[in-house]
Every structure is written in structure tokens, then in C-alpha cells.
Amino acid sequence: MDNAPGKKMLESAQALIRKTAEKMKLDEETIKRLIEPEFAHEFALTVKMDNGKKKVFKGWRIQHNSALGPYKGGIRFHPETIREEVQALATLMSIKCAVAGLPYGGGKGGIVVDPKKLSKTELERLSRAFAARIAHVIGEDVDVPAPDVNTTPEIMSWMIDEYQKIKGFKSPATFTGKPVSMGGSLGRTEATGRGGLFVLQALLEKLAKEGQTLTVAVQGFGNVGYFFAKLAHEAGFKVVAVSDSRGGVYNKDGLDPVAVMAFKRKKGVVSGYSGKKVSNEELLTLPVDILVPAALENVVNEKNAAKVKARIILEMANGPLTEEAYLALSKKGVTIVPDVLANSGGVTVSYLEWVQGKAGYWWSEEEVNAKLKEMIVRAFTAIWDKSKEKKMPLKQAAFEVAIERITSAMV
């Protein structure tokens, strides 16, 4: 299937790396090494369906760059995924891991499948078939997969079980995002939202805005958006709007995200909770201090960028701003915290899960949260300092810091 967004995503990731590397005056062969994946495994998986018939699924594991350490990245199950999309995501994982200061390169996996159309037993057989196929090219010191779109801790438990059976030994650090009972880390579920809040607080300290009551609108009320909103509310921010795929709610006096979630569990939607109903489009242009797109890509684009009133945008989703919107808003002086930094709390706690798995030593949730804070604030500070030193926006600074770190480890 032609998936234009996946191809566009790859083109823009590669163009951004090339542009940054050229500005840094890197030679052409180094730029090629930063752009081309080291390995691209492509395979057909045959799975026996419940009706007894066999079905073939297409899949990939793309290992982009291993200069800083083993490849790291999720596996997505999606009917429209294509090789270019998986490659783009692997490339961006190399950048994100370097930005976060982790000893990892970037990787990503994908299977073309709509998991909603599979029974649970079919899903398990497909997950095990994928793990068996990649077993000889992954490992705790080679490539460490994790969940991504439509893959869960339970799917990771099937994959690691299959992997360990094939290898004949236990290796809990080969997959992250596992259930806690199988060596998953405490704090992983909330990690992306929590990391985003730590980055925001560190930014406000630099902007001398800490201690003020700032208003926040959050688009998306799933894993990332909900925990971000909940923790931001607890930290004293005034969360005035939240939304899910069916629309949002705005209350200028503030919302309690826990109460909104209780309402959503009962009614299936956030819209209708006490306040004004707003569309997802309206939420993006509300008069707030901070806008947090935490749902989908390309939601802030050339059509609505001029109407955005927030002075700070925290990119919690992957790629929520188009290139045009990013340029227009940066020009207006809006501070945009790029996704590779803002949502790196998830992969940072995956790293902490990996360390625990390798050491066989388990940390409390408080210890995990404290380590996440230390690591993500350190990552933010390096990018902030670079952006001040070079007078460049945070996104450009993040790519430059990442490329410096990757190339300094390339021999």
C-alpha cells in the first residue's frame, strides 16, 4: 500500500540530518553513515490462523546506527506501515537516544497487520513468529526492541518468551516495556508524561517563569496525554483543556485530570465533562500559555499555525508540528520543545529497565523517577546550552547535539 506520510517522514528526517550535518561541515561519507541504515531486515511471516488456513504477513526490523550502543526502538503493528516509515522511525530513534544521552543507537520494527482483526491466539502466534524471525539479529547487547503503536507489555511477554526458548537462556534485558512480573520497570507506564513535565519545569526555570500559575491545553488523553496532564495538575499547572479523538473540554478555571478520566471511563469520552465543549481543532488555538499536542502527527500545520496563541509548545506526540508550522511559529518567537527531547522519558525508563535486567537488581518507583529526572534534565540542559551558544531553536540544537555525540563515537 502506498503510504505517503511514511515516505514523507523518511524524507524529512533525512533532510534534517543532512542540513544539520552540512552546517556542521561534516564530510559526505559521514553524512551517508548518518543517513543510511546499517541493516534492514525484511521478511514474510507465515502464521496459522484460527480457521486452520495459513496467512502471510510482511515485517521489518531496521537497525539504523549503532555507534553509541545496541539498537533500541519499538515494534509497531499497523495495517498501513511501510518500510520507509519503519526506517524513518529507526533513524529518529538514533537521534532521540543520542539526545537523551543513552548508550544506544536507533532501531524500529513493524508488521503490516490490523491487530483488531486478529483473535488473541492469532495475535500471540504472530508476535511469536516475529520474535523467532528476529531472534538471531537481536539481543541485550545487539538490539533491544520495545512496544510501539498497537503493541503492549503482553505482546512483549510473548516475544521475550519465544526469544528465550530459542536461545535456551534467560535474557530479560533483550526486550523492554515488559510486564513488571517479567522484569518490567516500575514507573514505565507514566514515564513519557513524567519526563515531559520534568523538561517543561527545567525550561520554565531557564525562562524565569517557574512559580507562576501557567495554563495548559493537552491534546490527546491516552498514555502520554493523561499522565502528563495528571502530573502537571499535581505540580501546580492549571490544565484548562484536554481532548481525545472525539473532541475536548475547556474550563478556564481548570480541570482535574483524574476526575476527567473517571468521567471518560464511564461515558467513553472527555467531552461533556463540566466546561465548554471544544473540537480538537479549537483546542489547539485556545488562549493558553502552554500547548501540549500528545496525540497525532501534523496536527499543527500551515492551516492553523497562525491561530496558535500559546507561547510554549511541548511536542509530546511524535511529529505534531509540520515543518511549515514549526518554521512559522519559531519565527514568531514561540518556544518549541522538540519531540526527540520532550517525549524521551519513555525510552529513558526503557534504558533503566534494561540496566535493571542486565544487573538483576530491581529499583523502587521513587528511585526510577529520580533517575529519570536527573537524566532528562541533563539532556535538556545540554540542548538549552547549545541553543543559547549557537543562537538556534531547540530542535536544531537537539539535532546538532545528537549528531555530535553519534559522530564522536564513529570510528
Q: Can residue 348 be called a binding residue for ligand NAD (CB under 6 A)?
A: no
Q: Can residue 86 be called a binding residue for ligand NAD (CB under 6 A)?
A: no
In this complex, which beta carbon is closest to ligand NAD, that of residue 222 or of residue 360? 222
> Which of 171, 152, 228, 169 lies closest to 197 in space, CA to CA?
228
In this complex, which beta carbon is closest to ligand NAD, that of residue 99 or of residue 129? 99
Q: Can residue 153 be called a binding residue for ligand NAD (CB under 6 A)?
A: no
Report CA torsion sign: 374, 377, 383, 389.
Answer: negative
Size of the site for ligand NAD (CB under 6 A): 20
> Which of 103, 100, 186 lies closest to 375 in space, CA to CA?
100
Q: Can residue 176 be called a binding residue for ligand NAD (CB under 6 A)?
A: no
Residues with Cβ < 8 Å from 327, sequence gap 6 or more? Answer: none
Cα separation, 295 vs 219, whole angstroms: 6
Residues with Cβ < 8 Å from 237, sequence gap 6 or more? Answer: 213, 214, 215, 216, 290
**Residue for grid cell 507465515:** 46
Is 332 an annotated catalytic residue? no
Cα separation, 373 vs 100, whole angstroms: 11
Cα separation, 148 vs 80, whole angstroms: 14
Instruction: Kindly tell me which residue out of 221, 237, 273, 354 binds ligand NAD, with binding defined by CB under 6 A.
Output: 221
Q: Can residue 244 be called a binding residue for ligand NAD (CB under 6 A)?
A: yes
CB of 94: closest distance to ligand NAD in angstroms? 15
Q: Pick the catalytic residue: 23, 53, 96, 108?
A: 108
In this complex, which beta carbon is closest to ligand NAD, that of residue 85 or of residue 162? 85
In this complex, which beta carbon is closest to ligand NAD, that of residue 61 or of residue 76? 76
Q: Can residue 219 be called a binding residue for ligand NAD (CB under 6 A)?
A: yes
Instruction: Kindly tell me which residue out of 46, 119, 121, 245 binds ligand NAD, with binding defined by CB under 6 A.
Output: 245
Q: Can residue 215 be called a binding residue for ligand NAD (CB under 6 A)?
A: no
Instruction: Kindly tell me which residue out of 322, 343, 369, 387 binds ligand NAD, with binding defined by CB under 6 A.
Output: 343
Determine phi and psi for 39, rounding to 5 degrees. Answer: -140, 145
Q: What would the grid cell of residue 55 be? A: 496467512
Q: Which long-range contacts (CB under 8 A, 24 or more apart) does 57-60 make?
A: 57/111, 57/112, 57/113, 57/126, 57/129, 58/111, 58/112, 59/109, 59/110, 59/111, 59/112, 59/130, 59/133, 60/86, 60/108, 60/109, 60/110
* 13-72: contacts with ligand NAD (CB under 6 A): none
Cα separation, 79 vs 76, whole angstroms: 10
In this complex, which beta carbon is closest to ligand NAD, that of residue 205 or of residue 323? 323
Residue 72 pairs with which residues in a beta bridge? 106, 144
Cα separation, 302 vs 308, whole angstroms: 11
Q: Can residue 260 be called a binding residue for ligand NAD (CB under 6 A)?
A: no
* 290-319: contacts with ligand NAD (CB under 6 A): 294-296, 316-318
CB of 339: closest distance to ligand NAD in angstroms? 7
CB of 268: closest distance to ligand NAD in angstroms? 10
Instruction: Kindly tell me which residue out of 3, 223, 304, 407 binds ligand NAD, with binding defined by CB under 6 A.
Output: 223
In this complex, which beta carbon is closest to ligand NAD, that of residue 126 or of residue 314? 314
Summarize as ranges the residues that interact with ligand NAD (CB under 6 A).
192, 219-225, 243-245, 280, 294-296, 316-318, 343, 346
Residue numbers annotated as active site: 108
